[in-house]
Structure 1
Amino acid sequence: MSGKYTALAVLSASLGLTAAAQVTVTPHEADRRIDVTIDGHPFTSYMWPTSLDKPVLYPLIAPDGTTVTRGFPLEPRQGERVDHPHHAGVWFNYGNVNGFDFWNNSGAIPAAQKPKMGSIHHTRVVSTKSGKHEGEIVTESTWTDSTGVDQMKELTRYIFRDENGMRSIDRIATLTALKPVTFHDDKEGLLGIRIAHFLESATEKGGVFNDASGRPTKVAEGDNTGATGVYRTSAGVTGDKVWSTRGAWCSLTGTSPEGKTETVVILDNPANPGFPSYWHARGYGLFAANPLGDHIFDPKAPEHNFTIAQGQSATFRYRILLNSSAMTPQQVDAAEAAFAKVK
């Protein structure tokens, strides 16, 4: 077994999980999606629907078949929150790139505010691959501002694995600046997941959340029945207190309505700009890693205005783990150590 598989296999074996499986990647470009299955069972799809202003992975399905992402806005489900329509599945974008907001853009933005927005356009599928242990999708997309000017090209490699029953996704994005680019210090970024209701915090009280431009979004207190999610970071911070703190990883564990324990983990990588990430993780269901919002998360820190010179590139590497059981901090530490070797 090659080195890149060994660490995940050892970790998965320690969790008492099953043997590796076949990962099948099936393009349906006419339907604007690519499906990923594990031994024929749904895992996720890479999709670029016309209803969204960026490509996403949706849904995320855990090893035992439990869906861990919110359905809205793509597939609304009864009892879900319907705030933040730009939170769809798994996405990667940012709230202030050269003054344009790529994070908050959606069909709900009033026409008068559209000039402030940016969109990420899927341009082509470079390649797909199926196989034992892992499958792969490589895509290209363009970050375009509201005036039609392309700011960046993005080349993204998605690696989908099933190692002894633990599912994982690597999302490795290389951004190439087509003009001088600045990611201004902002809380809205960078890798986001909108999780299912049962993974929300039982103590979530809702409220009004403003984006960097001051646009308010009201999150209703709602019915927290069945909400069981608890965050934990590598620094030992737990619950709703993880928001605005830093750590090499953040995990989220909860119990589904069927009584199944599910864990979702985002692993940061030491080679990433801004490592270790700040965690833009909210009790209402936003689970995001943002390594570029130093000052907005910590007023004592200087602003982190990350730049990419024209013609130059920056790469961001993240790994998402899906496990149908609880994971100890030591187990997640082991997974982080394995991912840290990815450059």
Structure 2
Amino acid sequence: MKKLNYLVLIFAAVATVTCSSGKGNQEGTSKVTFIENNAVKKIVVLIDGQLFTTFQWPENVTKPVFYPILTSEGTEITRGFPLKPKAGERADHPHQIGMWLTYGNVNGLDFWGNGSKGLGTRNQNGGVIKHLKTEKITEGTGEGFFITTESWVDTSGVVLLKEVTEFHFIAKENIRIIDRKTILTAGQKVVNMPDTKEGMFGIRVARQLELPVGGNVVLYNEDGTTSRIKDTLNIGITGNYSSSEGIGGEEVWGTSARWMHLFGNIEDEKISLVICDHPENPNYPTYWHARTYGLFAANPLGVKDFTNDKDSLNFSISPGQSATFRYRVIIATGEHLPAEEIDKLANDFALKFKSN
């Protein structure tokens, strides 16, 4: 199996937060450490000194993202395009980068699709999420976390929403977990987030974890060009979905479930990727905007699209008021996770971030 080696010490010379590396491969003994480097707009997350993921907010992207995300074996599960494109992967939807949280209609502005014309571009009606600062960083054994502040701004720079997010990183043997709790607070005006399928918490996965389907695909080439081909062989495309409600494959799109499991293989490594909803989230259990082409997203607010106009939800946040969204991401390697184990991890998450 091909391992990814990263020279994380390059960042150390200019890091504003240092990390102490340690080895530990048993549950609860792994060290979670961070390297914050505001000069390059990144926080590197390390497990026992090895790269797990990077939180970054580059100028040419319209929102903060986590990219890349790796398994405990060092295998990248996120698509490289457009930040670090790889030959043979899809070259579509350049605004779908790594892992993110945005929404497609915030007072008429599209935060989800902004940047859809490529890196460094802005759509005419696109909103931008700006990283302001890191409030706190705490390293630890088995778990570490940091807290950040962001602003959701319109095309004229007016702040619509203040975001405060806790990110927790957990290491348990062959399992890696990212928990997030995002609090969105409206400014002086009501913030309307009406129905759209374009949201909300998403991951764009590696080509191998897509579902085998037919049709035309646009693939990235070694020389930087792209080619549109009709993919009928699906060589190495191994992904499949299963939900907490027992639904699988393509049929999971538009259904509601407390968790969704995407599983497949990258080379000879069996990988599970799970997103868990939280019982205190708006409109729990969430709808799933989970696509065959590699977009894996939870969207609690796009009711109209997911119910064929049978129902709707025009969500809003009053001035000075807040809404909270909590999600757990589980990345496991070695064997595909059984439903019983996912249920346990989802139940554990339900107790975390619980309101008093």
Give SS of 2:242's match. Answer: strand
CA pair 207-72 structure 1, distance change in 2 beyond 3 A: closer
Structure 1 partner of 2:100: 91
Work out whether residues 61 and 119 of structure 2, in 8 Å CA contact, stay in contact via their aligned partners in 1.
no
Distance between the aligned counterparts of 2:63 and 2:177, measured in 1? 22
CA pair 130-110 structure 1, distance change in 2 beyond 3 A: closer
Q: Which runs of 5+ in 1 are unaligned?
A: 1-16, 209-218
Q: Is 1:316 matched with 2:341?
A: no
Question: Percentage identity across aligned positions?
Answer: 42
CA pair 124-290 structure 1, distance change in 2 beyond 3 A: same
Structure 2 partner of 1:19: 27
CA apart distance, 1:163: 2.0
Letter in 2 for 1:254: G
Q: Is 1:52 matched with 2:64?
A: no
CA apart distance, 1:240: 1.1
Q: Is 1:116 matched with 2:164?
A: no
Give SS of 1:81's match. Answer: coil
Work out whether residues 94 and 119 of structure 2, in 8 Å CA contact, stay in contact via their aligned partners in 1.
no
Distance between the aligned counterparts of 1:284 and 1:327, measured in 2? 22
Structure 1 partner of 2:73: 64
Distance between the aligned counterparts of 1:220 and 1:93, measured in 2? 31
Distance between the aligned counterparts of 1:102 and 1:59, measured in 2? 21
CA apart distance, 1:112: 12
Structure 1 partner of 2:3: none
Alignment of 1:25-44 (within 5 A): 25-44=34-53
Structure 1 partner of 2:349: 339
**Structure with the higher fraction of residues in helix conformation:** 1
Q: Is 1:225 matched with 2:245?
A: no
Letter in 2 for 1:70: R
Q: With a CA cutoff of 8 Å and minimum separation of 6, indicate the structure with the bigger relative contact order.
A: 1
CA apart distance, 1:253: 0.5
Letter in 1 for 2:240: V
Give SS of 1:296's match. Answer: helix
Letter in 2 for 1:272: N
Q: Deviations over 1:203-249 (max 9, x none)?
A: 253589xxxxxxxxxx9654621110001111111111111111000
Distance between the aligned counterparts of 1:125 and 1:246, measured in 2? 34
Letter in 2 for 1:289: A
TM-score (norm 1): 0.88
Distance between the aligned counterparts of 1:74 and 1:96, measured in 2? 25
TM-score (norm 2): 0.85
CA apart distance, 1:94: 0.3
Work out whether residues 51 and 107 of structure 1, in 8 Å CA contact, stay in contact via their aligned partners in 2.
no
Letter in 2 for 1:180: V
Aligned pair count reads 317
Distance between the aligned counterparts of 1:276 and 1:110, measured in 2? 33
CA pair 142-275 structure 1, distance change in 2 beyond 3 A: same
CA apart distance, 1:300: 4.7
Distance between the aligned counterparts of 1:204 and 1:250, measured in 2? 23
Q: Which runs of 5+ in 2 are unaligned?
A: 1-24, 219-227
Distance between the aligned counterparts of 1:244 and 1:180, measured in 2? 28
Work out whether residues 200 and 297 of structure 2, in 8 Å CA contact, stay in contact via their aligned partners in 1.
yes
CA pair 220-189 structure 1, distance change in 2 beyond 3 A: farther
